[in-house]
Chains A and B, each alone.
Chain A
């Protein structure tokens, strides 16, 4: 699996966009980028994933650079409830991977009033 690098912590004002970066310079062509978050000791929650095109869902947007070596998770209007640890993971899908994920240290996002 490609290694990812995330800043250990970030701050964001409530109501503003939170932009969480992730570097994955050794990503392979068949590896997807996934984002999960973990709110204060709860189980991780799936947010979004993508291969090379930008993706958007009701929770967030995922922007992947053209060379796929980095990506940004965007929470468009952060709220206090978005305070959590955000994990960026790269992984192939299908085959003998069986959908397993390897979690790193993640980024602690703190949204303040």
Chain B
């Protein structure tokens, strides 16, 4: 198993550009999550999904969109990038929710200038 994979690893965006952060898991997990981590801070939940076709907002959803058309994939879309979205983005998955364990991806480091 590859676990949770994220692409790209690094990206620099100009203000106003858009991009999609990719997340794929090969463990057939129903639960998937997107977190962001600003420098020196803990992780904040952006969006989560409890299965294909079902998504919901987390703590900091503004400026982002998600979709979950398959069990494996949970892409995060940034529209009109802003400097405040400079952060490290982590995708995670679990069979029973992160409260039972779960796996995080290696992260995508995004800079918006």
Point out the residues of chain B lying under 8 angstroms from A43, CB to CB: 4, 90, 92, 103-107
Instruction: Give the number of residue pairs across the A-B interface with Cβ within 8 Å.
Output: 70
B: interface residue count bin: 20 to 34
- Contact residues of A between 28 and 64, Cβ < 8 Å to B: 32, 34, 41-46, 49
- Is B53 engaged at the interface, CB distance under 8 Å to the other chain? no
A32 to B33, CA, bound (A): 20
Q: Which of A12-20, A75-83, A100-108 contacts B (4 or more CB under 8 A)?
A: A100-108
**Chain B 73-106 interface mask (CB, 8 Å, partner A; 1/0):** 0000000000000001010101011111111111
B43 touches A99 (CB 8 A): no
| Contacts beyond the supplied A49-B99, A99-B94: 10 A-B pairs with Cβ under 8 Å | A41-B88, A42-B107, A46-B102, A91-B99, A93-B97, A98-B48, A99-B31, A99-B99, A101-B99, A103-B44
Q: How far is the CB of A57 from chain B (nearest CB, A)?
A: 11
Point out the residues of chain A lying under 8 angstroms from B106, CB to CB: 42-43
A94 to B50, CA, bound (A): 12
Point out the residues of chain B lying under 8 angstroms from A97, CB to CB: 97, 99
- Is B58 engaged at the interface, CB distance under 8 Å to the other chain? yes
A44 touches B97 (CB 8 A): no
Point out the residues of chain A lying under 8 angstroms from B102, CB to CB: 46, 99
Point out the residues of chain A lying under 8 angstroms from B88, CB to CB: 41
Q: How far is the CB of A47 from chain B (nearest CB, A)?
A: 9
A32 touches B107 (CB 8 A): no
- Contact residues of B between 35 and 58, Cβ < 8 Å to A: 35, 41-45, 48, 50, 56, 58
B97 touches A102 (CB 8 A): no
